[in-house]
Amino acid sequence: MPNPTTKLEAVNIMLSAIGEAPVTKLNSGLVEADIAETILEATSREVQAQGFNFNKELNVIFNPDSNNEIVLPTNILRADATNRKNNKDLVQRGSKMYDRVKNTYTIDQAVYLDTVVMLEFADLPEVAKRYITLRSARIFLDRVVGSATLHGFSQDDENRALFELRDMEDEAQDFNIFNHFDTYSIIDRIGSTRTID
């Protein structure tokens, strides 16, 4: 069984996309490797901010600080008030939660939030690592080389990896035909009382 992809391997995949030799460690001093790592981190943040089953945490309780504000940890990419537990309309503004009803950051009680958490590259599922790596490689290639031909090849790989990631997400959601409103409306409908002549 192969080992999970490491951040160093992801950077080396990106370097190979432009024909550069691999590096043996991160922060190697090679300018292209540093650029690749920066793009990898930015792409990981962008992809994870969409919120997937593997980085969502539901009904997490947050207590106000000494200033009666809910300040979110730095690894929270998105937060939303859990409507069924709170009687407040809270939204994330910067690193704090904001009460839209009272127009204030002051929140004097604990609240439940659904959050999207930024995970370290090593903690991501392999399918997510693959997509992030290939997307990063395409962005890196476009910025450094800018070849339309190479862009097309890398875009195809990226699209396949995105399909695999979405497929994994669908499997994790355990959807079935009964989760769809159209199916429910057919199953739940009442027979017509109209008579046929």
pLDDT for the residue 179? 57
For the chain, the C-alpha Rg in angstroms (whole number) is 23
Amino acid at 119: L
Do 45 and 20 share a structural domain? yes
How far is the CA of 22 from the CAs of 94, 143, 146, 157, in angstroms?
A: 38, 19, 20, 20
> How many domains, the chain?
2
Are 158 and 71 part of one and the same domain? no
74 band by pLDDT with thresholds 50, 70 and 90: very high
Tell me: the pLDDT tens digits for 118-158? 999 999 999 999 999 999 999 998 888 765 555 555 677 77
Place of tokens 């929140």: 107
One domain, residues 132 and 165: yes
Beta bridge partners of 116: 56, 78
